[in-house]
A and B are shown apart, each in its own frame.
Chain A
Amino acid sequence: MTDTTTAELTVRPTASTIQQWWVLTVRMLTPTLRNGELATQIVGSIVFTIGYYIPLSRSWVRRRA
């Protein structure tokens, strides 16, 4: 192997900060789709709505009446 080839093999391409940021962001986002975190987020909002609205809306209506 010549010196030139060795040099070509060891030099890594420099990624821009934007590319690094994007790769790391995707690294954070991919597990949220796989491990159910996103589903938990969606279900959480629905549960908050049902859990607060159903029991408390009756007392709100009673108070206004």
Chain B
Amino acid sequence: MSSYAQYLTPLIVLQAIWFAAVSAAFRSATDSVQGINRRFKAMPIASLTPLASRMSASMYRCCVALTVSVACGHVIGFRFHDGVVHAVGFCVLVLLIGAALAFIGDLIGVATQNPEATAPLMLVPQVTLGLASTGLQPVERFPEWIQPFVRNQPLSQFVYALQALAGDSTSAAPEVRWSVIGPALAWVAGMILISVGLHMRVSKRRP
């Protein structure tokens, strides 16, 4: 990569939207523990409307996080090199990841019904996956025994895809190919499908 800012900014964006998902988990847990979800079920409201509103609020937080983190990246030297289409693709992929993380956060909030527990439950994976990812340094700089994990864990796959979509002034950035973007999209789809399925089960058990 031409600069460390170009290499690092995708991880900063991902950490910022993960931070937004922590708020989603906290709000969801607060609603559950205060009995607001139970109250909504007793009112003439479509069953998915409260979840949809929580997700909309989460996407608003994701948009703020994306805007501020890209602006911060711009200050240190990050640029979109491959045109408007790839820049839009970068933002759409970030928002998709944000939606998946918000679903997981909402699930944790509803399942635990404990606002104090949501921050550690969301922040431990954020720190662990963030530090053991290719977002900070290339995979070759990690010890050999941990390289398969670092290379294939979801945050690294998201970083590869975002670095490809952002491009670079040199040819060092990954190319935008199905083999680069596909795994990130597969992780997002898997995260959303599993968290929605679990959310439906948990919501039935714990109104």
Binding site for B on A (CB under 8 A): 14, 17, 20-21, 24-25, 27-29, 32, 37-38, 41-42, 44-46, 48-49, 52-53, 56-57, 60-61
Distance in angstroms between the alpha carbons of A50 and B140 in the assembled complex: 24
CB-based A-B contact count at 8 angstroms: 88
Q: Which of B43-63 contact A (CB under 8 A)?
A: 44-46, 49-50, 52-54, 56-57, 60-61
Contact A41-B68, Cβ < 8 Å, known A17-B46, A27-B53, A48-B15:
yes
A-B contact pairs, 29 of them (CB 8 A): A20-B45, A20-B49, A21-B53, A24-B50, A28-B27, A28-B54, A29-B57, A32-B23, A38-B64, A41-B16, A41-B19, A41-B23, A42-B64, A44-B16, A44-B65, A45-B12, A45-B19, A45-B65, A45-B68, A46-B68, A48-B12, A48-B72, A52-B11, A53-B8, A53-B12, A56-B4, A56-B136, A60-B137, A61-B4
**Among A14, A20, A49, A61, residue most surrounded by chain B Cβ atoms (within 10 Å):** A49
Within 8 A of A (CB), among B1-25: 4-5, 7-8, 11-12, 15-16, 19-20, 23
**Nearest B residue (CB) for A23:** B53
Contact residues of B with A, CB < 8 Å? 4-5, 7-8, 11-12, 15-16, 19-20, 23, 27, 44-46, 49-50, 52-54, 56-57, 60-61, 64-65, 68-69, 72-73, 75-76, 136-137
